[in-house]
Structure 1
Protein backbone atom coordinates (compact mmCIF):
# COMPACT_ATOMS: atom_id res chain seq x y z
CA UNK A 1 0.00 0.00 0.00
CA UNK A 2 2.76 2.45 0.94
CA UNK A 3 4.67 1.59 -2.23
CA UNK A 4 1.57 2.28 -4.37
CA UNK A 5 0.97 5.59 -2.59
CA UNK A 6 4.60 6.60 -3.10
CA UNK A 7 4.44 5.75 -6.81
CA UNK A 8 1.16 7.69 -7.22
CA UNK A 9 2.64 10.76 -5.49
CA UNK A 10 5.75 10.58 -7.69
CA UNK A 11 3.60 10.37 -10.83
CA UNK A 12 1.49 13.39 -9.80
CA UNK A 13 4.58 15.47 -9.01
CA UNK A 14 6.18 14.44 -12.31
CA UNK A 15 3.06 15.45 -14.24
CA UNK A 16 2.93 18.80 -12.42
CA UNK A 17 6.58 19.47 -13.27
CA UNK A 18 5.82 19.32 -17.00
CA UNK A 19 2.44 21.05 -16.88
CA UNK A 20 1.41 24.56 -17.83
CA UNK A 21 -1.67 26.72 -17.50
CA UNK A 22 -3.30 28.40 -20.49
CA UNK A 23 -6.12 30.92 -20.93
CA UNK A 24 -7.94 31.44 -24.22
CA UNK A 25 -10.74 33.44 -25.80
CA UNK A 26 -12.78 31.78 -28.57
CA UNK A 27 -14.80 34.01 -30.90
CA UNK A 28 -17.89 32.47 -32.54
CA UNK A 29 -21.70 32.72 -32.37
CA UNK A 30 -21.29 31.09 -28.93
CA UNK A 31 -18.08 32.81 -27.69
CA UNK A 32 -16.33 31.59 -24.56
CA UNK A 33 -13.29 31.88 -22.33
CA UNK A 34 -11.30 28.74 -21.55
CA UNK A 35 -8.80 27.90 -18.82
CA UNK A 36 -6.79 24.70 -19.01
CA UNK A 37 -3.89 23.03 -17.27
CA UNK A 38 -1.79 20.63 -19.32
CA UNK A 39 -0.75 17.45 -17.53
CA UNK A 40 2.27 15.76 -19.03
CA UNK A 41 2.66 16.07 -22.75
CA UNK A 42 -0.72 14.78 -23.99
CA UNK A 43 -3.73 15.53 -21.70
CA UNK A 44 -5.32 18.95 -21.39
CA UNK A 45 -8.54 19.26 -19.36
CA UNK A 46 -10.25 22.62 -19.97
CA UNK A 47 -13.04 24.54 -18.24
CA UNK A 48 -14.96 26.89 -20.53
CA UNK A 49 -17.46 29.62 -19.69
CA UNK A 50 -19.67 31.33 -22.27
CA UNK A 51 -19.45 35.08 -22.79
CA UNK A 52 -21.84 37.66 -24.30
CA UNK A 53 -24.79 36.12 -22.40
CA UNK A 54 -27.03 37.06 -19.54
CA UNK A 55 -25.72 35.47 -16.35
CA UNK A 56 -28.63 33.02 -16.15
CA UNK A 57 -27.84 31.85 -19.71
CA UNK A 58 -24.11 31.20 -19.25
CA UNK A 59 -22.94 27.97 -20.83
CA UNK A 60 -20.32 25.86 -19.05
CA UNK A 61 -18.18 23.19 -20.67
CA UNK A 62 -15.75 20.67 -19.23
CA UNK A 63 -13.54 19.26 -21.97
CA UNK A 64 -10.77 16.65 -22.01
CA UNK A 65 -8.42 17.34 -24.92
CA UNK A 66 -5.72 14.97 -26.17
CA UNK A 67 -2.67 16.37 -27.96
CA UNK A 68 -2.16 14.52 -31.27
CA UNK A 69 0.86 16.54 -32.36
CA UNK A 70 2.94 18.97 -30.37
CA UNK A 71 5.82 20.89 -31.91
CA UNK A 72 7.48 24.11 -30.81
CA UNK A 73 5.04 26.37 -32.70
CA UNK A 74 2.08 24.10 -33.51
CA UNK A 75 -0.24 21.87 -31.50
CA UNK A 76 -3.06 19.73 -32.91
CA UNK A 77 -5.66 18.30 -30.52
CA UNK A 78 -8.95 16.42 -30.32
CA UNK A 79 -11.25 15.99 -27.36
CA UNK A 80 -14.69 15.50 -25.90
CA UNK A 81 -16.69 16.76 -22.99
CA UNK A 82 -19.99 17.95 -21.63
CA UNK A 83 -21.86 21.24 -21.78
CA UNK A 84 -24.30 22.51 -19.15
CA UNK A 85 -26.99 25.20 -18.81
CA UNK A 86 -27.32 26.69 -22.31
CA UNK A 87 -27.51 23.86 -24.92
CA UNK A 88 -26.93 20.97 -22.50
CA UNK A 89 -25.17 18.09 -24.19
CA UNK A 90 -21.93 16.60 -25.45
CA UNK A 91 -19.10 18.49 -27.18
CA UNK A 92 -16.51 17.00 -29.55
CA UNK A 93 -13.49 19.22 -30.19
CA UNK A 94 -10.70 19.36 -32.76
CA UNK A 95 -8.34 22.27 -33.13
CA UNK A 96 -4.97 23.79 -33.82
CA UNK A 97 -2.93 26.12 -31.60
CA UNK A 98 -0.23 28.19 -33.30
CA UNK A 99 2.47 30.14 -31.44
CA UNK A 100 4.33 32.22 -34.11
CA UNK A 101 6.53 34.42 -31.90
CA UNK A 102 10.00 33.69 -30.48
CA UNK A 103 8.68 33.40 -26.93
CA UNK A 104 6.04 30.65 -27.29
CA UNK A 105 3.56 32.08 -24.77
CA UNK A 106 1.12 34.06 -26.97
CA UNK A 107 -0.60 32.47 -29.96
CA UNK A 108 -3.71 31.90 -32.01
CA UNK A 109 -6.09 28.99 -32.42
CA UNK A 110 -8.95 27.63 -34.48
CA UNK A 111 -11.39 24.94 -33.39
CA UNK A 112 -14.31 22.97 -34.79
CA UNK A 113 -16.67 21.57 -32.18
CA UNK A 114 -20.04 19.91 -32.80
CA UNK A 115 -22.39 20.34 -29.83
CA UNK A 116 -24.90 17.51 -29.54
CA UNK A 117 -27.68 18.91 -27.38
CA UNK A 118 -29.84 16.59 -25.29
CA UNK A 119 -32.95 18.67 -26.05
CA UNK A 120 -32.41 20.78 -29.17
CA UNK A 121 -30.51 18.68 -31.73
CA UNK A 122 -26.97 19.28 -32.97
CA UNK A 123 -25.06 22.49 -33.63
CA UNK A 124 -21.69 22.82 -35.38
CA UNK A 125 -19.57 25.53 -33.75
CA UNK A 126 -16.43 26.90 -35.33
CA UNK A 127 -14.27 29.33 -33.41
CA UNK A 128 -11.01 31.23 -33.62
CA UNK A 129 -9.17 33.32 -31.10
CA UNK A 130 -6.14 34.00 -28.97
CA UNK A 131 -4.34 31.86 -26.42
CA UNK A 132 -1.80 32.71 -23.70
CA UNK A 133 0.41 30.11 -21.97
CA UNK A 134 1.98 30.81 -18.60
CA UNK A 135 5.38 29.31 -19.35
CA UNK A 136 7.69 28.06 -16.62
CA UNK A 137 11.13 29.65 -16.78
Structure 2
Protein backbone atom coordinates (compact mmCIF):
# COMPACT_ATOMS: atom_id res chain seq x y z
CA UNK A 1 0.00 0.00 0.00
CA UNK A 2 2.88 2.39 0.77
CA UNK A 3 4.22 1.88 -2.75
CA UNK A 4 0.91 2.88 -4.29
CA UNK A 5 0.72 5.99 -2.08
CA UNK A 6 4.28 7.01 -3.06
CA UNK A 7 3.46 6.68 -6.75
CA UNK A 8 0.12 8.48 -6.42
CA UNK A 9 1.63 11.40 -4.47
CA UNK A 10 4.48 11.80 -6.96
CA UNK A 11 2.20 11.72 -10.02
CA UNK A 12 -0.31 14.12 -8.46
CA UNK A 13 2.32 16.70 -7.49
CA UNK A 14 4.01 16.42 -10.89
CA UNK A 15 0.81 16.71 -12.90
CA UNK A 16 -0.49 19.70 -10.95
CA UNK A 17 2.75 21.61 -11.32
CA UNK A 18 3.01 21.35 -15.14
CA UNK A 19 6.73 20.89 -14.64
CA UNK A 20 9.53 19.58 -16.84
CA UNK A 21 9.74 15.76 -16.87
CA UNK A 22 12.85 13.59 -17.06
CA UNK A 23 13.97 9.97 -16.91
CA UNK A 24 17.21 8.48 -15.65
CA UNK A 25 19.09 5.21 -15.30
CA UNK A 26 21.48 4.72 -12.36
CA UNK A 27 24.08 1.93 -12.58
CA UNK A 28 25.37 0.49 -9.28
CA UNK A 29 25.15 -2.72 -7.22
CA UNK A 30 21.54 -1.64 -6.60
CA UNK A 31 20.65 -0.22 -10.06
CA UNK A 32 17.43 1.66 -10.68
CA UNK A 33 15.47 3.76 -13.14
CA UNK A 34 13.91 7.07 -12.19
CA UNK A 35 11.17 9.42 -13.29
CA UNK A 36 11.64 13.00 -12.17
CA UNK A 37 10.25 16.47 -12.60
CA UNK A 38 11.73 19.87 -11.84
CA UNK A 39 9.52 22.01 -9.63
CA UNK A 40 10.45 25.66 -9.94
CA UNK A 41 14.14 26.50 -9.99
CA UNK A 42 15.31 24.46 -6.98
CA UNK A 43 13.41 21.17 -6.50
CA UNK A 44 13.94 17.91 -8.38
CA UNK A 45 11.76 15.11 -6.88
CA UNK A 46 12.29 11.64 -8.31
CA UNK A 47 10.43 8.31 -8.11
CA UNK A 48 12.79 5.34 -8.51
CA UNK A 49 12.26 1.64 -9.17
CA UNK A 50 14.99 -0.99 -8.73
CA UNK A 51 16.11 -3.03 -11.74
CA UNK A 52 18.06 -6.28 -12.28
CA UNK A 53 16.16 -8.27 -9.67
CA UNK A 54 13.06 -10.41 -9.18
CA UNK A 55 9.73 -8.58 -9.12
CA UNK A 56 9.09 -9.48 -5.47
CA UNK A 57 12.43 -7.81 -4.58
CA UNK A 58 11.78 -4.52 -6.38
CA UNK A 59 12.88 -1.51 -4.39
CA UNK A 60 10.86 1.71 -4.60
CA UNK A 61 12.21 5.12 -3.65
CA UNK A 62 10.81 8.60 -3.50
CA UNK A 63 13.40 11.36 -3.03
CA UNK A 64 13.19 15.14 -2.96
CA UNK A 65 16.41 16.69 -4.28
CA UNK A 66 17.28 20.35 -3.75
CA UNK A 67 19.44 22.02 -6.43
CA UNK A 68 22.33 23.78 -4.70
CA UNK A 69 23.80 24.94 -8.00
CA UNK A 70 21.89 25.06 -11.27
CA UNK A 71 23.62 26.32 -14.39
CA UNK A 72 22.94 25.61 -18.05
CA UNK A 73 25.21 22.52 -18.15
CA UNK A 74 25.58 21.52 -14.50
CA UNK A 75 23.28 20.80 -11.57
CA UNK A 76 24.55 19.92 -8.08
CA UNK A 77 21.97 18.59 -5.62
CA UNK A 78 21.37 17.14 -2.16
CA UNK A 79 18.22 15.49 -0.93
CA UNK A 80 16.44 12.95 1.21
CA UNK A 81 13.71 10.41 0.83
CA UNK A 82 12.42 6.97 1.66
CA UNK A 83 12.89 3.51 0.22
CA UNK A 84 10.35 0.67 0.47
CA UNK A 85 10.65 -3.13 0.17
CA UNK A 86 14.21 -4.49 -0.20
CA UNK A 87 16.68 -2.43 1.92
CA UNK A 88 13.80 -0.20 3.03
CA UNK A 89 14.46 2.91 5.08
CA UNK A 90 15.75 6.45 4.64
CA UNK A 91 17.86 7.68 1.69
CA UNK A 92 20.19 10.70 1.69
CA UNK A 93 21.28 11.81 -1.78
CA UNK A 94 24.00 14.06 -3.20
CA UNK A 95 24.93 14.22 -6.84
CA UNK A 96 25.84 16.01 -10.03
CA UNK A 97 23.94 16.17 -13.34
CA UNK A 98 26.00 17.25 -16.36
CA UNK A 99 24.56 18.14 -19.79
CA UNK A 100 27.56 18.52 -22.15
CA UNK A 101 25.78 18.84 -25.51
CA UNK A 102 24.37 21.97 -27.20
CA UNK A 103 20.78 20.84 -26.65
CA UNK A 104 20.61 20.42 -22.87
CA UNK A 105 18.26 17.43 -22.85
CA UNK A 106 20.66 14.45 -22.63
CA UNK A 107 23.30 14.20 -19.93
CA UNK A 108 25.19 12.16 -17.38
CA UNK A 109 25.07 11.98 -13.61
CA UNK A 110 26.88 10.66 -10.55
CA UNK A 111 25.30 10.20 -7.14
CA UNK A 112 26.27 9.09 -3.64
CA UNK A 113 23.32 7.93 -1.55
CA UNK A 114 23.59 6.25 1.85
CA UNK A 115 20.64 3.97 2.62
CA UNK A 116 19.75 3.86 6.32
CA UNK A 117 18.03 0.58 7.21
CA UNK A 118 17.04 -0.53 10.72
CA UNK A 119 17.87 -4.23 10.15
CA UNK A 120 20.90 -3.94 7.83
CA UNK A 121 22.42 -0.72 9.11
CA UNK A 122 24.03 1.75 6.72
CA UNK A 123 24.53 0.83 3.06
CA UNK A 124 26.55 3.29 0.98
CA UNK A 125 25.41 3.31 -2.64
CA UNK A 126 27.27 5.14 -5.37
CA UNK A 127 25.84 5.30 -8.87
CA UNK A 128 26.46 6.81 -12.28
CA UNK A 129 24.34 6.87 -15.40
CA UNK A 130 22.41 8.80 -17.97
CA UNK A 131 19.61 11.34 -17.71
CA UNK A 132 17.17 12.69 -20.31
CA UNK A 133 14.98 15.79 -19.86
CA UNK A 134 11.88 16.41 -21.97
CA UNK A 135 12.54 20.11 -22.47
CA UNK A 136 9.70 22.53 -23.07
CA UNK A 137 10.13 24.57 -26.24
Number of corresponding residues? 123
Write the distance in 1 (CA, Å) between the matches of 2:111 and 2:31.
Answer: 12
Counterpart in 1 of 2:115? 115
1:134 counterpart residue number: 134
Of structures 1 and 2, the larger Rg is shown by 1
Write out per-residue CA displacement over residues 69-122 of structure 1, whole angstroms, 9 at most, x where no aligned residue. 000000000000000000011000000000000000000000000000121111
For structure 2, the 5+ residue unaligned runs are: 1-12
Secondary structure of the equivalent of 2:130? Answer: strand
* Residue of structure 1 equivalent to 2:8: none
Q: Partner of 2:41: helix, strand, or coil?
A: coil
CA-based RMSD of the aligned residues comes to 1.4
Distance 1:45 1:129 in 2: 17
Give CA deviations for 1:33-81 in whole Å, capped at 9, x if unaligned: 0101111000111100000010000000010100000000000000000
CA distance in 2 between counterparts of 1:88 and 1:135 reads 33
Equivalent positions of 1:7-26 (< 5 A) are 16=17, 19-26=19-26
CA contact (8 A) 1:66 1:78 kept: yes
- Residue 96 (structure 1) aligns with: 96
What TM-score comes out, normalization by structure 2 length?
Answer: 0.87
Query: Using the alignment, how far apart are the partners of 1:61 and 1:77 within structure 2?
Result: 17
Is 1:59 the counterpart of 2:77 in the alignment?
no
Question: Are 1:82 and 2:82 an aligned pair?
Answer: yes
By how many angstroms is 1:16 displaced?
A: 3.6
TM-score, normalised with respect to structure 1: 0.87
Task: Work out whether residues 115 and 125 of structure 1, in 8 Å CA contact, stay in contact via their aligned partners in 2.
Answer: yes
Match of 1:30? 30
